[in-house]
Amino acid sequence: MSNHILQSKKLLAIVVILSVIIIDQIVKIWVKTHFYLGESLEIASWFQIRFIENNGMAFGMELGSKLFLTLFRIIVVASLIYYIIKLVKKRFIPKGYIACIALIIAGAAGNIFDCIFYGIIFNNPAPPEIAVFTGGEYGYAPLFYGKVVDMLYFPLFSFTWPDWIPWIGGQHFMFFEPVFNIADAAISVGMIIVILFYHKYIGPFNEVEKKLCPESQIEDRKCDSEI
């Protein structure tokens, strides 16, 4: 692989990861220090900034203990960083796939920062008080036990299920109900694009290369992607 292609792939991955993490943290810190827990700001009928916190994964889901979840995220991010380092060195891997993996890494890392540090650098006052930086002197939770800040809420439409539908008849339905953050969005966008457009690049590198590249090009080390 030419040095130019290698460097451009490295730069793409670094720029995507750093950009998402920085923007995500700026927005989270701003919301954390300007909204009290549960406060909402209606931007439009279909979009609100709503400050909530959660102990779980993307979109407020729960998975095991808090410490287990944080350590699990760290292991996943470390594995994906190792994976993307390998990706940028492969001629046949397109930049679009690298950008998607970078989005997933950035999203997971963004929520890791909340879990590791927010408990010790912020207090957690009862509403309507707003959180402030503590300087690490009196946080609301130990290291690794912080809560993830969510704020993006898109109540696009709602309706009531007809009474004749079993189990859910008469219940109110809201789309899209979960509150999430930029890190969650990065993970979701990266995964969706991979599934739709780059699923053929998932798997052991040697198997992917054999599937995508003619044997003659593999032997001549000419197999590359222009995507």
Q: Indicate which residue of 24, 114, 163, 184 is catalytic.
A: 184
Q: Indicate which residue of 24, 150, 163, 224 is catalytic.
A: 150
Catalytic residue list contains 163: no
Question: DSSP labels for the chain?
Answer: --HHHHHHHHHHHHHHHHHHHHHHHHHHHHHHHHS-TT-EEEEETTEEEEEEEESSSGGG---S-HHHHHHHHHHHHHHHHHHHHHHTT-TTS-HHHHHHHHHHHHHHHHHHHIIIIIHHHB--PPTTS---B-TTSS-SS-TT-PPEEEEEE---EEEE--TTSTTTTT-EEEET---B-HHHHHHHHHHHHHHHH-GGG-S-HHHHHHHHS-HHHHHHT------
Catalytic residue list contains 184: yes
Catalogue the active-site residues: 150, 184
